[in-house]
Amino acid sequence: MSTREFAGYDIVRPLGSGGMTRLLLALDAHHRHVVVRYLTEDFAKRWSYRRHFFGGAKVMQKLNHPHISRLIKTGYVGKIPYMVLEYIEAKTLRDVMLAKDHILTDNTLSLMRQLATLLSYIHSAGYLHLDFKPENLLVRADGVIFVIDFDLSLPIQRPWWRRRLRELPGTPAYVAPETLRTHRVDVRSDIYSLGVIFYEMLTFHKPFESDKLELARAAQMNPAVAPTPLRQHNPQVAPALEAVVLKCLAKRPEDRYPSMSLVIRDMEKML
C-alpha cells in the first residue's frame, strides 16, 4: 500500500479520472476504504468549476438516496477542492458495456428500470442531473446501479420555463438536440440522455454514429434524421421497448416523454 497522503487520508491507488477531476482510492482513520475526488490544478483555478464541484456535493448531500454515492466531507488541500465519498466496489456502466459483461446482458431490463427510477427520484427531489451518462453510473456485481456525479446538476425551475445555460452542459452525445442548439434545458433534457443510455445498453451503439464526429453531431441535431432503429442492431429488442427508447430520443422536446413517471409507466407494461 502506498504511504502517500491527501487531506489526512492514506492513498491506496488512483481510480481514474474525469474531464476535470481525479479519483483516488484511500483509507480513512478507521482503515475503511473511501474515494477522494478532487479538481485538477488547471480547473481548480476557475471559480465556475469550483462552484460546480461544490454545488454537486451539496446536491448529493440533499438527495441522500441509498443508490446515490454518499458524501462524507468536502474541503481544500491548499487551493485544490476535494470531496470524500463512500467507496462502492463496482464498474462504470461504460466499462460494463465495453466488455459486454453478463451483468448487463443478463439483466438489461432490470438495469434500465433502476436507471429510470433513479432519474425519476432526482427529478422528484427538484433537480436536473444534466450529465447522465455511463461514466457517471456504477454497476455493482449484484446488478445494483449507483449515480456518482452531480457537478452539473441544477434545481428544476417552476413553473416550467426552460432554463438557458451559458455553457453547454454534459457530454455532447448525451445532450438533447435543442440543448445543443440553444443551451436550453428542462426535465426532457435528462430524458433524452437516458434514451441514449438505453439505446447503448440494448445495441452497444449510439443512436447517431459516424466515422467523423462532426457528422454524428449534425445528424443528432437534424430534425429530419431519425436514430437508426434499435432492432437493426439487435433484432431481439421488443417493439414496445424500442418505442419507449425512441420516444425518449425524440428530436423535438414536445414529442418526448414530458416526465419520468410516464417512462416508468410504459416500461412497467412490459413486465
Pick the CATH number of 90-268 from 3.30.70.1560, 3.90.800.10, 2.60.40.2240, 1.10.510.10: 1.10.510.10
The answer, yes or no, to whether residue 271 has pLDDT greater than 90, is no
Taking CA atoms, 143 is separated from 16, 118, 268, in Å, by 22, 14, 19
> The C-alpha cell of 136 is what?
457517471
The distance from CA 34 to its chain's CA centroid, rounded to whole angstroms, is: 21
The answer, yes or no, to whether residue 161 has pLDDT greater than 70, is no
Mean pLDDT over 251-266 rounds to 96
Q: CATH 1.10.510.10 in the chain: give the residue spans.
A: 90-268
CA distance 220 to 175: 9
The answer, yes or no, to whether residue 163 has pLDDT greater than 70, is no
The answer, yes or no, to whether residue 188 has pLDDT greater than 70, is yes
DSSP H or E stretch at residue 145: strand 145-147
Q: CATH 3.30.200.20 in the chain: give the residue spans.
A: 5-86
> The C-alpha cell of 176 is what?
438533447
Give the pLDDT score at 165.
65
Give the pLDDT score at 187.
95
Question: Band of the pLDDT at 182, cuts 50, 70, 90?
Answer: confident
Residues forming the active site: 131
CATH number of 5-86: 3.30.200.20
The answer, yes or no, to whether residue 268 has pLDDT greater than 60, is yes
Which amino acid type is present at position 179? T
Question: Band of the pLDDT at 1, cuts 50, 70, 90?
Answer: very low
CA distance 187 to 123: 7
Give the pLDDT score at 57.
95
- For the stretch 54-103, pLDDT in tens is 999 999 999 989 999 999 999 999 999 999 999 999 999 999 999 999 99
Give the pLDDT score at 213.
84
Mean pLDDT score across all residues of the chain: 91
Give the pLDDT score at 204.
97
Considering the chain, what percentage of its residues have pLDDT values greater than 90? Answer: 78
| Ranges of H-type helices in the chain | 41-44, 47-63, 93-98, 102-105, 108-124, 177-182, 187-203, 213-221, 230-233, 239-248, 260-268
